[in-house]
Chains A and B, each alone.
Chain A
């Protein structure tokens, strides 16, 4: 079955890309790897008459270190991220979560910039990036800006992007010294599905075993990826006992706003959040010993 016809524009620089995007009106779309957009066109959910592909824009590619932070170019594919030794050694939580995106052949095409711009609610990388206090870098007709990832998701599949704006990279600060991260992807149908819920956590314990730094974020638990700040605050300064992990998991389940869909009901999601937040926290504590 053929896609509904569209014209393809292939800018070769960011300047050209911005000019192409500025001229867009009606049903026009930006495309990175196409793993999100092409199925939407195929299913008739969108009918763009023009596509601007970013694949020839060199400055959007690549994975770099910048002043101690990790800079993932918007066109870095999930496979690029999971395979990068810079990411695996310095940002293992990001590598671990990215390795769980869909299947190998999707990860070779799908890009981190596309995943963010699409505002996938059940994104695997987004909760991990939230744990690292990442910033999404954006350029548009009024210049460039950096949006903290917790403010980048406006609503269900809606990113905080203005007309004419392009995601250029995501900047990921390093974890605090001694922090340990983990990602759990729980699927209710098959292993390569989107997560029913995904849980990412980054925890640093002090010498006495008390939480000195905590980040907890969820995918598939609300209309957007979310950080659970109430649970983080409850854990700070506390020993990571089983009871403390359970209390944090209860807060996470309460603060989540899960939706019901074919993968599972909202109630089931809430229960799985309770189960997996607790298990992940206890696992991080025991692994950190």
Chain B
């Protein structure tokens, strides 16, 4: 099956077998390894990417379903060699330990901040409610998202 989409701001034309998910397409079709495979059932959130600005589970969405849409993965967060404020905040505040959940966390947070530049801690928790972290206890992740929120400065 042929697919045409926008990937991290650039047009992307590719092919994928019918049964591939977005995660298969990203990792195995396009060699973008930033998006992780966790549970494969939509529970853990580590494969979260943005489709038209909204978070989706790459492991649950068929590749065919993102044809014509705009995808953003962790590889698309930085621009012109500069890290996204979320990446800087995660690094500076120790919000990543093993790092496996971090791409999904940052993309779920990116979608939140695009809609709500000054979220409360509660709103951050809700937005990240589908992203599991087994290292940090979440405190530093929430602090990092709040620190990166443009409307809270």
Please pick, from B20, B41, B45, the residue contacting A105 in the complex, using a CB distance under 8 A: B45
- B64 CB to nearest chain A CB (Å): 6
Decide yes or no: A106 and B42 within 8 Å by CB, A6-B18, A7-B18 being known contacts: yes
Chain A CB within 10 Å, residue with most, of B19, B20, B111: B19
Closest to A8 in B: B18
- A55 contacts B130, C-beta separation under 8 Å: no
Which B residues touch A108, using CB under 8 A?
51, 54-56
- B19 contacts A6, C-beta separation under 8 Å: yes
- B18 contacts A105, C-beta separation under 8 Å: no
Please pick, from A8, A42, A55, A102, the residue contacting B40 in the complex, using a CB distance under 8 A: A42
- A4 contacts B37, C-beta separation under 8 Å: no
Which B residues touch A53, using CB under 8 A?
62, 64-65
Q: Is A23 an interface residue (CB 8 A)?
A: no
Q: Which of A32-73 contact B (CB under 8 A)?
A: 33-35, 38-39, 42-43, 51, 53, 55
- B54 contacts A35, C-beta separation under 8 Å: no
- B130 contacts A106, C-beta separation under 8 Å: yes
Q: Is B48 an interface residue (CB 8 A)?
A: yes
Mostly, the A contact residues are loop
Q: How far is the CA of A199 from the CA of B126 in the complex (A)?
A: 21
Which B residues touch A31, using CB under 8 A?
62
- A34 contacts B41, C-beta separation under 8 Å: no
Q: Is B147 an interface residue (CB 8 A)?
A: no
- B41 contacts A1, C-beta separation under 8 Å: no
Q: Is A246 an interface residue (CB 8 A)?
A: no
Which B residues touch A143, using CB under 8 A?
none
Q: How far is the CA of A83 from the CA of B51 in the complex (A)?
A: 17
Q: Is B108 an interface residue (CB 8 A)?
A: yes
Q: How far is the CA of A5 from the CA of B1 in the complex (A)?
A: 13
Please pick, from A34, A79, A191, the residue contacting B54 in the complex, using a CB distance under 8 A: A79
Which B residues touch A10, using CB under 8 A?
64
- B43 CB to nearest chain A CB (Å): 9
Q: Is A192 an interface residue (CB 8 A)?
A: yes
Q: Which of A224-249 contact B (CB under 8 A)?
A: none
Which A residues touch B42, using CB under 8 A?
35, 38-39, 102, 105-106
Q: How far is the CA of A53 from the CA of B111 in the complex (A)?
A: 26
- A2 contacts B61, C-beta separation under 8 Å: no
Q: Mark A65-94, 1 if CB is under 8 A from B, else 0.
A: 000000000000001000000000000000
- A38 contacts B129, C-beta separation under 8 Å: no
Decide yes or no: A104 and B60 within 8 Å by CB, A1-B37, A2-B24, A53-B65 being known contacts: no
Q: How far is the CA of A38 from the CA of B42 in the complex (A)?
A: 9
Q: Is B21 an interface residue (CB 8 A)?
A: yes
Which A residues touch B110, using CB under 8 A?
none
Please pick, from A3, A4, A103, the residue contacting B130 in the complex, using a CB distance under 8 A: A103
Q: Mark B23-49, 1 if CB is under 8 A from A, else 0.
A: 010000000000001001110010010
Q: Is A109 an interface residue (CB 8 A)?
A: yes
Q: Is B17 an interface residue (CB 8 A)?
A: yes
Please pick, from B19, B21, B62, the residue contacting A4 in the complex, using a CB distance under 8 A: B19
- Since A38-B60, A105-B45, A108-B51 are in contact, a sample of 12 more A-B pairs with Cβ atoms closer than 8 Å, ordered by chain A residue number, is A4-B19, A8-B1, A31-B62, A35-B57, A38-B21, A39-B42, A51-B18, A104-B130, A105-B55, A105-B57, A108-B54, A109-B56
Sort A-B residue pairs by CB-CB distance and give the 3 closest, nearest first: A103-B130, A8-B18, A105-B55
Q: List 24 A-B contacts (CB under 8 A).
A: A1-B37, A2-B20, A8-B62, A8-B64, A10-B64, A33-B60, A33-B65, A34-B62, A34-B65, A38-B21, A38-B42, A38-B60, A39-B42, A39-B60, A51-B18, A53-B62, A104-B55, A105-B54, A105-B108, A106-B57, A106-B60, A108-B51, A108-B56, A192-B130
